[in-house]
Amino acid sequence: MTSIHNLGFPRIGAQRELKQAVESYWSKKIDQNQLLSIGRKLRQQHWQLQAEAGLDWIPVGDFSWYDQILDHSALLGLVPERFQSSPLAQDSDDEYEVDLDTYFRMARGRAPSGEPTSACEMTKWFDTNYHYLVPEFLPEQRFKLCGSKLFDEVEEATALGYKVKAVIPGPLTFLWLGKTKGKEFNKLSLLDGLLPIYNQILTRLKAQGVEWVQLDEPILALDLPTEWSNAFESFYSRLRVGGIKKMLAVYFGSLQDNLSLACNLPIDGLHVDAVRGASEITMVSSWLADYKVLSLGVIDGRNIWRANLADLIQTLIPVHERRGEKLWLAPSCSLLHVPVDLEQEIKMEDELREWLAFAKQKLHELAVLKQALNNGTESCADLLQGSARAAASRQQSSRIHKADVKQRVVDIVPEMAQRASTFESRIQKQQQRLKLPLFPTTTIGSFPQTDNIRRARRQFRQGQLTKGEYEALMHQEISAALAKQEKFGLDVLVHGEAERNDMVEYFGEQLDGFMFSEFGWVQSYGSRCVKPPIIYGDVSRPTAMTVSWSQYAQSQTDKPMKGMLTGPVTILNWSFVRDDQSRQKTCQQLALALRDEVCDLEKAGIGIIQIDEAALREGLPLRKRDWKHYLDWAVHAFRITASGVKDETQIHTHMCYSEFNDIMSAIAAMDADVITIETSRSDMELLKAFKDFAYPNDIGPGVYDIHSPNIPTQESMTGLINKALQHIPAERLWINPDCGLKTRNWQEVEQALVNMVSSAKFLREQAATH
């Protein structure tokens, strides 16, 4: 009999209960016991939901207060010294618990005294829009069990009668994702130190009655150096705890050259991504020993489209005939990346909703497949036919295909992706127009979304405010934001984006080819949740989206005003994207729509236009052989968006929380006049890539970590810019925060920006004396 399981469930709750609870705890509105109670309730709701869907094994360990990799760092005692209230005696046998407040200090950047310190670095989780907190490894790093969270949750689930499958990061992936601190060394030198700890974890889980443990090793979907491939065999051959079975989980891509390695490891089960690696299903089924469980991730855990179960079952029948009870079915990856429950979307049109499946619905799709394999397709014929009808409806719908949009893509010519002059020529004309000082200061775009702003937006959506009343309120907010910026002394202003709910959703709401959910939230990092738009059809721009807001803002000040747009690649990568045409083609449609907006902003007198491409890197394929194709069309899409303007119009772009070293040529090929990037958490480490590559255009390295409540001092920001000056000439440096400021409050923002402007003034004086 085929079994079904899940790699992980969305932890945030259908109504974002976890976000609200964690933020209430941070603001001292609830105490720790109340927070723990809310977490317990959410876990139990999620376990019950999965059990009711028919899962044979319930994942435990997928719940996290902030991030699952941070959880594992805490479990292994990997707490940087700056967060420790007392030295962590790694060589002692004494029990030590990494408590919840220490855990949150690591995420948010607080010393035990309450003083600000550098938070753990945050970066993208493979090619998703989720962010993890990077483990920090020291030379001679020691590990020890320093937490009971995993074991407490296993005990909790077992007491409720669930068949538990424990979930933890695999040792190789955990090391791969971390960074060395202090002197450089080979992270694999720490692997032997992890072995006794993993044996302890498995031994303890076995004592709790756990039969299966899922070890997540998604790096097996990457190009691995030989020494890392060899380390898998070395480690897993020594990870031997009798009486507990190991399921190795690989996801986000196909195994390719790691297929033989994965199949031959001394494990009891192998999970593969059968959505992105569908071509390997037959091979894996043949190569994996018959006594091992093969878990096929056949339901897409990364997207929200309903599966065509009638087609899937035809793929699965021969595998089922070969493997029988050794075949398990699951989503391709953790369902962390999709919203919780489609049943909440009562306002969505029936036809559109019929095409979708959120986490809860995906589990029910698994149950149908299980029933069809174990009891025959006739036992669930109606359900299979319903799935096929939904797929046919989507394929044939007149909502999706627009001939004029498709023709415009066909008509793209090379000149549309080329600025009229080189950067050297453009920057001179721009400086004559803008007259900016050395070390010009600006922000990335958004300012705090206050209760008043959210209330006005909600009232407008509910019909309690007229369009005129709403616009008047937003104009007041824009004017207030401009007045503050002028008071701070910023050189290039922004209107603050008071009217925007989200940097992607706002544009999607005004573009044809998008639809929206009401409760389709997914976790981006920590307590930050986003509600991605859904691109279901051909994309076009019916009318201008931002021009009137930017025009109004520019009319209120004599200083340069940035028009703010989200770029085509970021809109694509931060949306749930249609899967019936290539992502490249959808991105071209987005680029053409945004090109129209850029040109309209220029006509309206806006001299600086920022086109954010925060998500350029996260769309990068996992395998390097596929990088060039992606980067070619992604950069081309950006250039189509940006290249319709005159030399005098300055184009900015922004990127955050990415490693740039290996894609510098693509970033340079974007040919933005100014790029602003995240560097404060990495202590300007990322700028070395720009120096080594000899990046030719202007750069604004972030000096204010907006993802932490810490207020940076003038001295700390001056220190960061002085480090930047080791890599970038002063005449090409801008000073700005890491990212938009919408998640911060005004009290934090005001002091931080005052300090930032003071830092710029100090640096100008410093430069004048040299």
Determine the Cα–Cα distance for residues 728 and 718; give it in Å rounded to an integer.
Answer: 15
Give the residue from 259, 303, 304, 264 showing the smallest Cα distance to 277: 259
**Start-end of H helices in 643-745:** 664-670, 687-693, 714-724
Question: Cβ neighbours of residue 395 under 8 Å, at least 6 residues apart?
Answer: 580
Question: Cβ neighbours of residue 362 under 8 Å, at least 6 residues apart?
Answer: 299, 300, 301, 307, 331, 335, 338
3-state helix, strand, coil in the chain (%, to 5): 45, 15, 40
Determine the Cα–Cα distance for residues 86 and 106; give it in Å rounded to an integer.
Answer: 15
Give the distance, in angstroms, between the CA of residue 428 and the centroid of all CA atoms in the same chain: 37
Catalytic site residue from 72, 320, 654, 707? 707
Q: Are 438 and 740 in contact (CB under 8 A)?
A: no
Q: Are 316 and 298 in contact (CB under 8 A)?
A: yes
Determine the Cα–Cα distance for residues 718 and 426; give it in Å rounded to an integer.
Answer: 29
Determine the Cα–Cα distance for residues 637 and 39; give it in Å rounded to an integer.
Answer: 43
Please state whether beta strands 269-273 and 212-216 pair in parallel, antiparallel, or not at all (unpaired): unpaired
State which amino acid sits at residue 681. R
Report the chain's C-alpha Rg in angstroms: 26
The helix (H) or strand (E) run that includes residue 429 is helix 423-434
**DSSP 8-state assignment for residue 605:** T
Give the residue from 655, 652, 683, 435 showing the smallest Cα distance to 565: 652
Determine the Cα–Cα distance for residues 342 and 361; give it in Å rounded to an integer.
Answer: 7
State which amino acid sits at residue 254. S
Determine the Cα–Cα distance for residues 147 and 200; give it in Å rounded to an integer.
Answer: 12
Determine the Cα–Cα distance for residues 104 and 547; give it in Å rounded to an integer.
Answer: 41
What are the strands, taking DSSP E only, across 282-332?
Answer: 293-299, 327-331
- The phi and psi torsions of 144 (rounded to 5 degrees) equal -155, 155
Determine the Cα–Cα distance for residues 674 and 677; give it in Å rounded to an integer.
Answer: 10
Determine the Cα–Cα distance for residues 356 and 391; give it in Å rounded to an integer.
Answer: 10
- Give the number of other Cβ atoms within 10 Å of residue 342's Cβ: 22
- Token pair listed for 234: 């070395």
707 annotated active-site: yes
State which amino acid sits at residue 352. L
Q: Are 653 and 667 in contact (CB under 8 A)?
A: no
Determine the Cα–Cα distance for residues 367 and 214; give it in Å rounded to an integer.
Answer: 20
Determine the Cα–Cα distance for residues 617 and 117; give it in Å rounded to an integer.
Answer: 28
Active-site positions read 707
